[in-house]
Structure 1
Amino acid sequence: MLRFMPVGDSMTIGSAGEHTWRYRLWQHLRATLDAPFRIVGPREALHDPATDGPDAYEYAADVDPAFPRAHLAGWGEGWHHMMPLIGEEVRAHRADVLLISLGLIDLGFYTNARQTADNVRRFVIEARQVRPAVRMVMLPVIPNVRAAKDEDFAAEVARFNELLAQEAGTLHTEHSPVLLAPVPPGWDIDHDTYDGTHPNAAGEHKLAAAFADVMHEAWGYGKRYEPSRF
């Protein structure tokens, strides 16, 4: 059985009342993956805007009750926070595939592009120490409102994405592949987010597609993502 672990920041944990891209991807895999799988991780909560903490558990009203809520994601967390945790969580949940969307928080508050890329490498090393054949899909930092308004920050994001591509290429092995997903084609912060950063329904589908399509193309998992299925 394949075990997928979503690892991410606020765009991955999602907020109370949302579907999340995790749900969209689960729907897609359930419909198209010809193999048993699970979604795993140590956390289940959503971000609660009322408390500004991971205190919410109510997704959108039409979310399938069978959806496994598990993840390793946190509002305001980045590579800086997940790198020390990943080894133990991969061990505990026997994750086979890590679906990773991190970096915006790091660049915004903690580390520069080079330091963030160094944490990417350490993250991969930590995961492989406990599960040598673990697979990973990494999403670059996608367009966001801060980069749109701050040229220096935009340059740092661009530099990190270049370094992330280099690290993914260097770290990739046949035994433990590392894939770099593309920035979702046509991503528009005015159309695909509700605040310039966090995905709305359209953005959730695009993020799910970014992960689904690269896994299908590289590993034959499922089919290409079609939002009309859902």
Structure 2
Amino acid sequence: MRASALRCTIVATMTAARLVKGLAIPDLVADGDLSYAAIPSNADTNTVRILVCGDSISQGREGDFTWRYRLWEWFHNNSNAHMQSTTTTTPSAQNHPPQPSSSPSSNTAGTTNNDKNIYPAIQYVGPFKGTLPASVDAISVDPTNPQTWGTYHPTVSPLFSPGGGSSHFAVYGRPAWQDIEPLHEQITTHNPDILILHLGFNDIGWWGNNATDLLYSVQRLVFNARLARPDIKVLIADVSHRVAVAGREDIEGITNQYNALLDTSAAEWWTEGSPVEVVRVSKVYDCQVTGCPAGIDGLHPNSLGDFQIAHAYTQVLHEKFHYGTAPLEVPSPETIPGFIIQSPTIGPGYAPNPPIHFLAAGAGLFSLALVAALKPEWLRLRRGRFGFGGVMKGRYHLLPSR
């Protein structure tokens, strides 16, 4: 009788402990204390599961390679090369789950000890697989109604597409704040080892968010991700610049301010159990307010830009988590399929001045074209508190692309 009662007491105590542990909220515990609630890694430790949460820069348009493919290719090539090199020798070490750096400020760049490197296969996870279809207008696309059935460049590996390797959670026009609630469900469903957050331009450019607004949205994304998986690793891309747009000179300053805040805040969000690393895409992706040779429209990457963005990710993945033998190398533009080198202008980098009457006619045609191009966006203006004319903050968007 006593033994039975004692057994019941022990079972009840263990059950209560599990319930309490399951209710632990990551942002309420001290740094370094989060690892106690870490859930087991995926059973297949030779595979790393990655969820890409992003916008148009990550989804891509029909016919694109996308930077996601170049990152997938890097993982795939490293894993295959490592397997081939070990077929004739005795493996000295098995692949292990991703290991974070010892601290958010530690720098393992230049490490040459190959014993630390690991070579897992990559498995993208997420609810979508495709790019934005060519039949969909990228300007007026509704980010709450994802259009994801577009195909990729015809030369991508069939293992990536249509073979099921292209899964993602990236949607054209999607701002960071819109993913805060859905992200928890995606992580619960797909259980990624690594979360990539590549968001932010739409918040600044289309929704009028300032740097602090965007930072708060990203912080909530990180903490909501930890609620679903406390030991998740998080990579956050900073916001890359776009070619200057008349009337929106504020974008450059807000972008710079946010990127600076992100560097500081990510170090504060970092824990040993759930490391957070910033991927400095803006330092690698050749797209600035003065020009964007790696982009197709002053913002979205072309096939060269895909390599550059993927390179930024592999720098962090190799230096902080020891994936692969080295970061991805960006090839010469002329060797990249699909890259079109712009024909040079007359003379050393400038175009001839047209006659004045051509300028006047051109200005008139440009005005008509601008009105036609922006018509969908005028219709997107929301009624403010002072009626249709009283447009509230973030509702006036003079941007030619998302």
- Do both proteins adopt the same fold according to a TM-score greater than 0.5, normalized to the shorter chain? yes
Paired residue for 1:95? Answer: 192
> Which structure carries more strand by proportion?
1
2:313 aligned with 1:216: no
Q: Distance in 1 between matches of 2:49 and 2:305?
A: 24
Q: Distance in 2 between matches of 1:112 and 1:173?
A: 27
Tell me: CA distance 1:84–1:42, structure 2 relative to 1, closer, same or farther (3 Å): same
In the TM superposition, what is the alpha-carbon distance from 1:50 to its structure 2 partner?
Answer: 2.0
Larger radius of gyration: 2
Paired residue for 1:63? Answer: 156
Tell me: CA distance 1:101–1:186, structure 2 relative to 1, closer, same or farther (3 Å): closer
Deviates more, 1:160-169 or 1:201-210: 160-169
Paired residue for 1:199? Answer: 301
In the TM superposition, 1:60-139 aligns within 5 A as 60-67=153-160, 68-110=165-207, 111-139=209-237
Q: Distance in 2 between matches of 1:114 and 1:193?
A: 27
Paired residue for 2:129? Answer: 44
Runs (4 or more) in structure 1 with deviation over 6 Å come to none
The answer as to whether partners of 1:6 and 1:71 remain within 8 angstroms in 2 is yes
SS in structure 2 at match of 1:4: strand
Q: Distance in 2 between matches of 1:219 and 1:157?
A: 27
SS in structure 1 at match of 2:312: helix
Alpha-carbon RMSD across the aligned residues, in angstroms, is 1.9
In the TM superposition, what is the alpha-carbon distance from 1:227 to its structure 2 partner?
Answer: 3.3
2:67 aligned with 1:21: yes
Amino acid at match of 1:64: S
2:271 aligned with 1:162: no
2:278 aligned with 1:185: no
SS in structure 1 at match of 2:180: helix
Percent of pairs with identical residues: 30
> What TM-score do you get using the length of structure 2 for normalisation?
0.55
Tell me: CA distance 1:148–1:208, structure 2 relative to 1, closer, same or farther (3 Å): farther
The answer as to whether partners of 2:54 and 2:170 remain within 8 angstroms in 1 is yes
SS in structure 2 at match of 1:138: strand
In the TM superposition, what is the alpha-carbon distance from 1:160 to its structure 2 partner?
Answer: 1.2
Q: Distance in 1 between matches of 2:192 and 2:245?
A: 33
The answer as to whether partners of 1:147 and 1:154 remain within 8 angstroms in 2 is no
Q: Distance in 2 between matches of 1:36 and 1:148?
A: 45
Amino acid at match of 2:260: E
Give the paired residue count.
230
The answer as to whether partners of 2:50 and 2:192 remain within 8 angstroms in 1 is yes
Deviates more, 1:15-24 or 1:49-58: 49-58
In the TM superposition, what is the alpha-carbon distance from 1:148 to its structure 2 partner?
Answer: 8.6
